[in-house]
Amino acid sequence: MSENISRRDFLKLATVGAATTAVLTGCGPASRYIKREPYMQMPEYTYNGLSTYYATTCRECAAGCGLIVRTMQGRAIKVEGNPNNPVNLGKTCARGQATLHGLYNPDRITGPLQRTTRGEAATEGLEWDAALQVVGDALNNNNPDEVAFLMGMAPDHLFDLVSDLAASIGAPAPLRYGVLSMFEARATLVKAAEDLFGQATLPFFDIGNADLVLSFSANFLETWLSPIAYTRGFSKMRRGNPKRRGHFIQFESRMSQTAAKSDEWIPIKPGTEGLVALAIGRLVAEAKGGTVPSSFENVNLEDIASLADVSMETLEHIAQLVAEAESPIMIPGGSALGLNNGLQTAETILTLNAIVDNFGKAGGVFFSPLSPNEDEIHRPASSQEMIELIEKMKGGGVKVLFVHGLNPLFELPKALGFEDALASVPQVISFATFPDETALQADYVFPDHHPLESWGYQRVATGAEQSVLSGAQPVVSPNYDTRATADVLLAAGQLAGGAVAQALPFQDEIEFMQSKFASLVSQVDGSFSAPEINTFSAYFQQHGGWWKKSAELAAPSASDALGKSIVVEQAQFAGEGEFFFHPFMSPTLGEAGANKPWLQELPDPTTTVMWNTWVEMNPETAHELHIENDDVIKIISEAGEVEAPVYLYPAIRPDTIAMPFGQGHTAYGRYAAGRGVNPINLLGSHFNEAGDLAFAGMKVRIEKIEGKKQLLSRLESRIGVYNEGLEEH
């Protein structure tokens, strides 16, 4: 009873009472006080609840879109597009939005690491001074010819620095590679332009002003070249002109997100894009009544129609449209070029543009302008060039390998044998920000800042009409004990001394960047100019880059193209099997998005699958094979085999199966590791004339794994979406 209540009990009761009152008062007074830790000497504007905005560059892919990051109290809150940057004009894609999930990813590498046995998670930390020493020695003690630099796709300041570094010590120039460049077959596109117009450059397709777009499996709304810019163009093509609505036809064996927006999707047989282009070219030329170009003259339409599995009527109807269109444009896309006849296909399609004579006209084909401080196009390495490096590594020709911004163990097909090659390299130094597969195989990991924490600039290869140099700057102070790779290399260069120290006499990467701006400072045709370099680089950071005021699109010459004779032969498909294999880049994940949970949770635009890999298969085919949704099947190619659950995809050729690239990591953090499979391991090492991997040139067979199901997480309903009502649930 309450007469003999001890003091302790009373206090107990009292606290209970306190708790209950706190609860009962609902949104009454805040009963818990928060201790706030202000920054050292924090500038006032950071702690009055107002946000600060910094302009920088998105580095989720190589397109070089400008960003404006909202920060508050030293934290990055939200990513928005930079409205001034000509590439994206204030827009961002999903991957750009999710950059923050990289910055604040719980799996980031927090400091320099040393690994005793490769492949094991166990590491021991070391100081940055020691790290610098390691890099310095690596540069010094090795025969320059045996030092190799492997870098990401983006042509940024670090690439320039490494090029200079390599040149100064006489090492081979750094290689830039990205699986994205493989999927969009950049090398082939550039080579085609070189063959046709004698100028190695990326064509720029002005679909914004076109009224008819023929896309040969170009996924320009997803990841192709510069998706934001091309999406803007698409929007303009459709709705930009109130009088007319642009017509859009997509040739592709599977209805991609891009094809889903087309007015006509024509599922031609894989590998026949070039032939179809030839046929259309002839029909158009005849319809226009002009002279039919030599290479198009003797084309057997019926054969092509039957080969491509498309009716003559369709071909004629399309040719009719093209002939009547004011400004038609034809675009060669990744999976059309990723074949052994890819180069010919690319040339044919570009020539098709010549037939309708849209070069240099609004809604036609142009050359992408070079970046301001760029002398010639530096395209990323083709797979062929990677093979050369791999052979060299295998032969023991590489003593130390520097890897930055690239995850070759994930992005290169197993068949290319990078894994073994890596094993035969004595010293591997990775600058990875995240613990990816390659970093796991590296002896040293000297983590770079996350892009949002680092300085830099990035050249825009294509997408904008004018020449653009996007600028990057840190929006937050580094979260962890990371260091900018450029600084590491510069410091290490000083340690190494000799030629390197002379070639790169810079204190830090900012000085280096300024040295690269020098030519731009006083240029008047730019977005801004400055009296001297410091002001210039201040503006540079403020505007998020430097770009020309006016468009600088050069026009290719039609006559060169028409003059060239093209022979398109049949595409060869490697391996035997009843299915064409169509790997494609996941529109939401991209090549490196798998460790960002919100990208994982974004439904794939066409299948609405989240968090996993699937195999797309035509329902009829599946029915014949007694395969249902979510049945796990084994896909076997000459190079390897993977297991993945089936998604019955109504819009894919019955003789084709498709798989998205992006999942299937064995490392790369808690959200990516052990999730889905990596279709790239099904690809064999076959190349086209331009040296690009013939990734679309595989045939595979499938085996159903009896009784094994894996429920795919779909956003869409399994009942309502197919209008098939209640068959499946």
Partner 1 sequence: MIRNFFEWVMGPMGRIAVLITALSLFSLAAFGIYQTQVPPEQPIQFPHNLHVRLGVQCLYCHPGALRGPSPGLPTQTKCWGCHQQIAKTFDPNFPELSEKLVGYIERNEPIPWVPVSQVPDFVHFTHRPHIAAGLNCENCHGDMTQVEIAENPQVMNMGWCLNCHKSRAADDPEKFTKLTDCGTCHY
Partner 2 sequence: MSIDLNLVGAKGAIAQEAEGKWGMVIDQDVCTGCQACVAACAMENNLSFVGEEDAGYGRTQHWIRIERFWEGAYPEVKSTPFQPMLCQQCGSAPCEPVCPVFASVHSQSQDINLQVYNRCVGTRYCANNCPYQVRQFNYRDYHLDPIHANEVDGQLVYPFHNQFNPDVTVRRRGVMEKCTFCIQRIHKAEDTAKSQGREVVDGEMVPACAQACPSNAITFGRLDDPESLVSQMAHDERGFKHLEELNTMPRITYLKEG
Partner 3 sequence: MAVTSKYFPGAEKGHETEHEEHDPRESLMYDPKPRGEMNQMVMESMLTTSCKFWVVFCMLAVLVATCFFYAWGYMIAEGLGVAGVMRPSYWGIFLVNTVFWIGISHAGTFISAILRVMKAEFRRPFTRAAELMTTFGLIQAGASIFMHLGRVWLAYWLFPIPNERQLWPNFHSPLMWDLLAITTYVLGSTMYLFLPLIPDLAMARDRSTGWRKTFFKTLALGFRGTEGEWRHLQTAMNIFAFAIIPVMFSVHTIVSWDFAMAMRPGWSSTVFGPYFVLGALHSGMGAVAIVLCLMRATMKHMDYFLRAEHFDALGKLMMIVSFAYAYFFFNDYIVQWYGGDKWTDALLHWLEEGPMAWMFYQLIFFNIVLPWLTLWNRKIRQNPWLLALIGLLINVGMYWERYLIVPVMLTINRMPFTWKLYEPRIEIFLTIGTFSLFLLFYLAASRLIPLIPVWEVQEGQMTHSLRKVGKTQVPTISEFE
Tokens of 686: 């076959």
Identify which of residues 17 and 38 has a Cβ nearer to partner 3 in the complex: 17
Q: Which helix (H) or strand (E) holds 501?
A: helix 498-503
Binders of partner 2 among 340-399, rule CB under 8 A?
A: none
- Residue 90 touches which of partner 1, partner 2, partner 3, none (CB < 5 to 8 A by kind)? partner 2
* Distances 702 to 571, 616, 639, 643, 705 between C-alpha atoms, Å: 22, 12, 14, 9, 9
Binding to partner 2 by CB under 8 A, coded x per residue (else -) over 477-506, reads: --x---------------------------
Residue spans of alpha helices (H) in 509-627: 509-517, 533-543, 558-563, 597-601, 619-624
| Integer Cα distance of 663 and 586 in angstroms | 9
Maximum pairwise Cα distance, the chain: 113
Residue 6 to residue 44: CA distance in whole angstroms:
52
One residue of 420, 703, 716, 724 binding partner 3 per CB under 8 A = 716
> Exactly one of 137, 194, 601, 641 binds partner 2 (CB under 8 A); which one?
601
Size of the residue set binding partner 1 (CB under 8 A): 35
Shortest distance (Å) from residue 422 CB to partner 3: 43
Question: Which of partner 3, partner 1, partner 2, none does residue 719 bind (CB under 5 to 8 Å by kind)?
Answer: partner 3
CA distance 370 to 377: 7
Query: Using the 8-state DSSP alphabet, how is residue 480 labeled?
Result: S
Give the residue with the Cβ less far from partner 1, 21 or 717.
21
39 alpha-carbon distance from chain centroid: 36
Q: Which of 59, 238, 379, 548 binds partner 2 (CB under 8 A)?
A: 238
Q: How far is it, in rounded angstroms, from Cα 665 to Cα 675?
A: 7
Min CB(718)–partner 3 separation in Å: 7
Provide the 3-class DSSP secondary structure of residue 250: strand
Cβ closer to partner 1: 31 or 502?
Answer: 31
Binding status of residue 715 toward partner 2 by CB under 8 A? yes
Other Cβ atoms less than 10 A from the Cβ of 711: the count is 10
Which residue, 30 or 726, has its beta carbon nearer to partner 1?
Answer: 30
Q: Cα(331)–Cα(581) distance, rounded to whole angstroms? A: 22
Pattern 21-40, partner 2, x by CB under 8 A: -----xx-------------
**Whole-angstrom distance, CA of residue 654 vs CA of residue 650:** 9
Residue ranges in 224-341 assigned as alpha helix (H): 227-235, 257-260, 273-288, 294-297, 301-308, 312-324, 334-337
CB atoms within 10 A of CB 548: 19
Q: Which does 78 bind (CB under 5 to 8 A by kind): partner 2, partner 1, partner 3, none?
A: partner 2
Reduced to 3 states (helix: H, G, I; strand: E, B; else coil), residue 384 is helix
Which of 75, 288, 399, 634 contacts partner 2 by CB under 8 A?
A: 75
Contact 206, 366 (CB under 8 A): yes
The neighbour count for residue 433, using CB atoms within 10 Å, is: 26
Number of residues that bind partner 3 (CB under 8 A): 15
| CB proximity list for 303: less than 8 A, separation 6 or greater | none
In the numeric block, the tokens 């999930």 are attached to: 101
Which helix (H) or strand (E) segment is 368 a member of? none
Residue type, 11: L
Binding of partner 3 by 726 (CB under 8 A):
yes
Minimum distance from CB of 487 to partner 1 (Å)?
24
Q: Is 298 in the site for partner 2 (CB under 8 A)?
A: no
7, 31, 254, 724: which one binds partner 1 (CB under 8 A): 31
| Closer CB to partner 2, 89 or 175, in the complex | 89
**Residue 74 or 563 having the CB closest to partner 1:** 74
* Residues 335-364 close enough to bind partner 1 by CB under 8 A: none
Total binding residues toward partner 2, as defined by CB under 8 A: 81
Count of positions (residues) in the chain: 729
Residue 22 vs 72, nearer CB to partner 3: 22
Regarding 7 and contact with partner 1 (CB under 8 A), the answer is: no
Residues 611-630 that bind partner 2 (CB under 8 A): 611-612, 618-620
- Interface map 34-73 toward partner 1 (x if CB under 8 A): xxxxxxxxx-x--xxxx-----------------------
Rounded to 5 degrees, what angle do the CA atoms 567, 356, 86 make? Answer: 105
Site string for partner 3, 658-697 (x = CB under 8 A): ----------------------------------------
The span from the CA of 475 to the CA of 76, in Å, is: 7
Q: How far is the CB of 12 from partner 1 (least distance, A)?
A: 11
Closer CB to partner 1, 40 or 122, in the complex: 40
Shortest separation between residue 467's beta carbon and partner 3, angstroms? 44
Among 14, 23, 260, 518, binds partner 2 (CB under 8 A): 260
DSSP helix/strand/coil, 703 = strand
Within positions 23 to 62, which residues make up the interface with partner 3, using CB under 8 A?
Answer: 23, 25-28
Residue 379 interacting partner from partner 1, partner 2, partner 3, none (CB closer than 5 to 8 Å by kind): none
Residue 535 is a binding residue for partner 1 (CB under 8 A): no
DSSP states of 124-170 as a string? EE--HHHHHHHHHHHHHHS-GGGEEEEE-S--BHHHHHHHHHHHHHT
Site for partner 2 contains 659 (CB under 8 A): no
Which residue lies nearer to partner 3 by CB, 538 or 721?
A: 721
Question: Taking CB within 5 to 8 Å according to partner kind, which of partner 3, partner 1, partner 2, none is near residue 650?
Answer: partner 2
Choose the stretch contacting partner 3; rule: CB under 8 A; options: 20-28, 217-225, 414-422, 461-469.
Answer: 20-28
Q: Of 674, 711, 719, 728, which one interacts with partner 2 (CB under 8 A)?
A: 711
Applying CB under 8 A, among 549, 670, 708, 709 the residue interacting with partner 2 is: 670
In the block, tokens 């009527």 appear at 313
| Minimum gap (Å) between residue 47 Cβ and partner 2 | 12
Q: Which amino acid, residue 157? A: H
Which residue is it, tokens 């920054």?
39
What angle do helix axes 312-324 and 301-308 make, rounded to 10 degrees?
110
* Contact assessment for residue 342 and residue 688, using Cβ atoms and an 8 Å cutoff: yes
Question: How far apart are alpha carbons 202 and 463 in whole angstroms?
Answer: 10
Footprint of partner 3 on 424-463 (CB under 8 A): none
Taken in order 261, 311, 342, 208, the sign of the CA dihedral is negative
Q: Which of 50, 423, 567, 719 is the binder for partner 3 (CB under 8 A)?
A: 719
Q: What is the DSSP letter of 679?
A: G
527 DSSP assignment: S
CA dist 364 and 208 (Å) reads 9
Give the residues lining the site for partner 3 (CB under 8 A).
23, 25-28, 715-721, 725-726, 729
Residues making contact with partner 1 (CB under 8 A):
1-3, 5, 10, 13-15, 17-22, 25, 27-31, 33-42, 44, 47-50
